[in-house]
Amino acid sequence: MPGRQLRIDEYRIEQEPYYLPTGDELAIADAAYHDGSPLLLKGPTGCGKTRFMQYLAWRLQRPLVTVSCHDDLSTSDLVGRYLIRAGEAVWTDGPLTMAVRAGAICYLDEIVEARKDTTVVIHPLADDRRQLPIEKRGELLTAPAEFMLAVSYNPGYQSVLKDLKASTRQRFIALSFDYPDPEREMEIVCREGRLGMEIAKPLVKLAAMTRGLKDSGLAEGASTRLLIQTGKLIGRGIPIKTACRAAISEALTDDRELLAAMDEMISSLF
């Protein structure tokens, strides 16, 4: 069906995304891909998991179908459902089924946010059966060699209620991500934030300082993404301190004391 082909082509990544590797994550992901093993990405907000998946998809020349998971994502949202067309119930593939059929990479972002049924529906896809049972159609889909399953989550959020079950975890090759080291982070901020080194350097230092505020009650420190957004504001003529407050402090917290602490950090750096 040409229409469907067109659809999946929307998910192809044409241009090489900018990605700075930090270890052997690409070699492991390649091996997992060729073994037909699924991938589990762990790490904090905005540290580059999504960008890694984009780069991997570009490198493997596979379309990338990303699904942001949440409490209300049902199995039907993933697998598909019947829709009425001209008085007929016509089956419509969900993003997961579409990815399996097309031999694409299906990336379930923040998988622990999903309902249990969403987590369980990937079980037979994530072991050596590599099958997707579409119960509503009585169809049993076997994934082609090109299909890859990847999921991500943020261990910092982990709670008793929202944890991956052992029977789910034990199906994945796991990659642990973290913020890049200062050298790499500066390189990224300069490039993506369109900044010179003289501003990127103290910005990266500020990020590290906010990451140290975790014990003072800050949920998470500034991600690399926030530094990039700060850089862009500065590039538009917003004064540095104002940009830091809007893109970093106020984006991170509403707590007056934490905001004051960050104001002091900003003043000490710029």
Site for a copy of itself in 185-214 (CB under 8 A): none
Site string for a copy of itself, 136-175 (x = CB under 8 A): x-xxx-------------xx-xx------xxx-xxxxxxx
Cα dihedral sign for 65, 70, 72, 75? positive
Q: How far is the CB of 201 from a copy of itself (least distance, A)?
A: 21
Site residues (CB under 8 A) for a copy of itself, limited to 118-137: 119-121, 123-124, 127, 129, 133, 135-136
Among 77, 111, 186, 203, binds a copy of itself (CB under 8 A): 77
Q: Which residue has the tokens 């982990």?
A: 158
> How many other CB atoms are there within 10 angstroms of residue 27's CB atom?
10
Residues within window 6-35 making contact with a copy of itself, judged by CB under 8 A: 7, 10-11, 24, 27-28, 30-32, 34-35
Please choose, out of 38-46, 182-190, 197-205, 262-270, the segment that lies near a copy of itself by the rule CB under 8 A: 38-46
* Residue 138 Cβ vs a copy of itself, minimum distance, rounded to whole Å: 5
Q: How far apart are CA 258 and CA 260, in angstroms?
A: 5
66 pairs with which residues across the strands? 107
User: Among 113, 143, 179, 200, which residue interacts with a copy of itself (rule: CB under 8 A)?
Assistant: 113
Contact 56, 26 (CB under 8 A): yes
User: Is 107 in contact with 150 (CB distance < 8 Å)?
Assistant: yes
d(CA 231, CA 250): 16
Q: Which is closer to a copy of itself, CB of 135 or CB of 183? A: 135
Residues 209-248 that bind a copy of itself (CB under 8 A): 219-220, 222-223, 225-226, 229, 232-233, 236-238, 242-243, 246-247
Give yes or no for a contact between 76 and 82, defined as CB atoms under 8 angstroms apart.
no
250 membership: H or E segment, kind and range: helix 250-252
